[in-house]
Amino acid sequence: MKKNKVSLRMIQYELRNVAGNPFVHIFGVGFPILLSVIITKAVAAEMPGSFYLGEVVTSIVLGIGAVIPMATILIGYSSTCSQDIEKNIPLRMQLFGFSEKYTIVNRLIAEFIYMTFAFLIYFIIVCSVLKLVAPAASGAIIYFVCIYIFAAVLFMLAHAIANLVKKFGLTYMITMIIYFAMMILSGMMGITVDKLPKGLRIASDLLPSTYFVKDFYTVWIGESYNFGPMIQSYIFFFAISGILVFIMVYNSKRNLH
């Protein structure tokens, strides 16, 4: 086995760990599907035959799709990582010659593979139940590129939280609070962003997930869109995650001395 390279065997090992985590199946696959179907059916009942129904349904499905990386990576990876830390697994792997850098890369690839399958299941089931507006090729590509960038930043955040907290229970509590707070602020829980208090709307605009909910239909169908505010939200979210990673690395180096 190649210990200091991206390894297919290590990716398979990490993928089994991901698949063995019940949280990712519940919150990353089942919950988004259930939420999409329930909300869209409720909306459809209130506006039967409306010309804009397809647009509304598609917007809801695209927005709730952002829940998948939030669940599979923010909750799922952080819980697995914190459990490994409690068992001193990262330290043991380093003692056996496994590079921490490549271990993290293998884990990220495994998380992305699982998330890809989760999206396939999500869209297959949702499209079989609901009628979505077909995307422009550019719109679909941009959507998934943004999703995977969002997932990568969530991976940084999850890794930092797990390594700073080092306890599964507390890590799980923190990530669940962040998860539901992001859902509420992004308008995924039945309260649209424009109905939030002004202070919360400002916080909402700083979250990439907000733009999947309120704006991505425009991108999906290939119309022109101002990406400025969305890019700013990604920069802000990356900065927060980067600061936590920096603190994590600093603490790790300090503990070695």
pLDDT at 51 over 80: no
What is d(CA 185, CA 66) in angstroms, rounded to the nearest whole number?
13
Question: Residues of the chain with pLDDT > 70: what percent?
Answer: 95
Q: What is the pLDDT of residues 133-143, one digit of tens each?
A: 999 999 999 99
pLDDT at 202 over 80: yes
pLDDT at 219 over 90: yes
CB 234 within 8 A of CB 149: yes
CB 175 within 8 A of CB 79: yes
Handedness of CA 154, 168, 26, 55 (dihedral sign): negative
The confidence score (pLDDT) of residue 255 equals: 67
Q: What is the pTM of this model?
A: 0.91
pLDDT at 47 over 90: no
Among 34, 73, 66, which Cα is nearest to 183's? 66
Compute the half-sphere exposure of residue 176: CA atoms within 13 Å on the CB side of its CA. Answer: 11
pLDDT at 130 over 80: yes
CB 24 within 8 A of CB 18: yes
CB 150 within 8 A of CB 209: yes
The confidence score (pLDDT) of residue 3 equals: 56
Distance of CA 161 to the CA centre of its chain: 15
Handedness of CA 76, 78, 79, 85 (dihedral sign): positive
Cα-based distances in Å from 160 to 54, 127, 197, 248: 40, 36, 30, 6
- Rounded to 5 degrees, what angle do the CA atoms 169, 174, 179 make? 125
What is d(CA 157, CA 133) in angstroms, rounded to the nearest whole number?
33
Compute the half-sphere exposure of residue 152: CA atoms within 13 Å on the CB side of its CA. Answer: 12
- Rounded to 5 degrees, what angle do the CA atoms 162, 211, 196 make? 90
What is d(CA 206, CA 102) in angstroms, rounded to the nearest whole number?
31
- Rounded to 5 degrees, what angle do the CA atoms 166, 207, 247 make? 30
